[in-house]
Chains A and B, each alone.
Chain A
Amino acid sequence: EAQVTQNPRYLITVTGKKLTVTCSQNMNHEYMSWYRQDPGLGLRQIYYSMNVEVTDKGDVPEGYKVSRKEKRNFPLILESPSPNQTSLYFCASLPGRGDYLTEAFFGQGTRLTVV
């Protein structure tokens, strides 16, 4: 089954404690992206990747890092989480430049609380 898997689904952590949210897709997609969603602000793009070892900032990259060492995985790293990073996070993947006329697939979401 084609899917995008995020882990963990729920996480409560303390300010400053480094954490990683994993994202994995099994569709051999080139493109992957991270979004955060906050009440009243909609979905905002954090980082995206158009290929292995190629990443670019989205609209709200501050406080986040990503890596794309292999095609299937695109982890989101919070080196020193702060309460303003409490949010619902989504990972997405889609085929790539030659197949852009198709849909993006989204993970189930990770609800992060930083206290």
Chain B
Amino acid sequence: DAKTTQPPSMDCAEGRAANLPCNHSTISGNEYVYWYRQIHSQGPQYIIHGLKNNETNEMASLIITEDRKSSTLILPHATLRDTAVYYCIAMGGGSYIPTFGRGTSLIVHP
């Protein structure tokens, strides 16, 4: 799997959009970008994934740059319950079980 780089921490005001960046400059053509989050000692939870097109679901939006070297997870209206560690994972091409880095600790404040 390609290595991903994320900022260790970020904060965001409640009700505002949270934009979490991820760098994956060595991603190969058949690797997808996945995002998971972990809320305080609970099991990680899947959020969204994509290959090269932007994706949106009920939880978030995923914006992948045209060269696929980076992506941004967007939580459009962050709430206090979105406070969690967010993990960006590049996976595919024969590797199907996620391995996690340190992620980004997002704190949403009132």
CA distance A103 to B37 in the complex (A): 12
Expressed in whole angstroms, the minimum distance between the Cβ of A33 and any Cβ of chain B is: 5
Q: Is the CB of A45 within 8 A of B99?
A: yes
Known: A42-B100, A106-B45. 16 other contacts (CB 8 A): A4-B43, A33-B97, A33-B98, A35-B100, A41-B102, A43-B38, A43-B44, A43-B87, A43-B100, A90-B44, A92-B97, A92-B98, A94-B97, A100-B92, A103-B46, A104-B98
B68 interface contact, C-beta 8 A: no
Which residues of A are interface residues toward B (Cβ below 8 A)?
4, 31, 33, 35, 41-45, 48, 50, 58-59, 88, 90, 92, 94, 96-97, 100-101, 103-109
CB-based nearest A residue for B91: A100
Task: Contact check, B103 vs A42: say whether CB atoms are below 8 A apart.
Answer: yes
Residues A100 and B96 in contact in the complex (CB < 8 Å), given A42-B101, A42-B102, A42-B103? yes
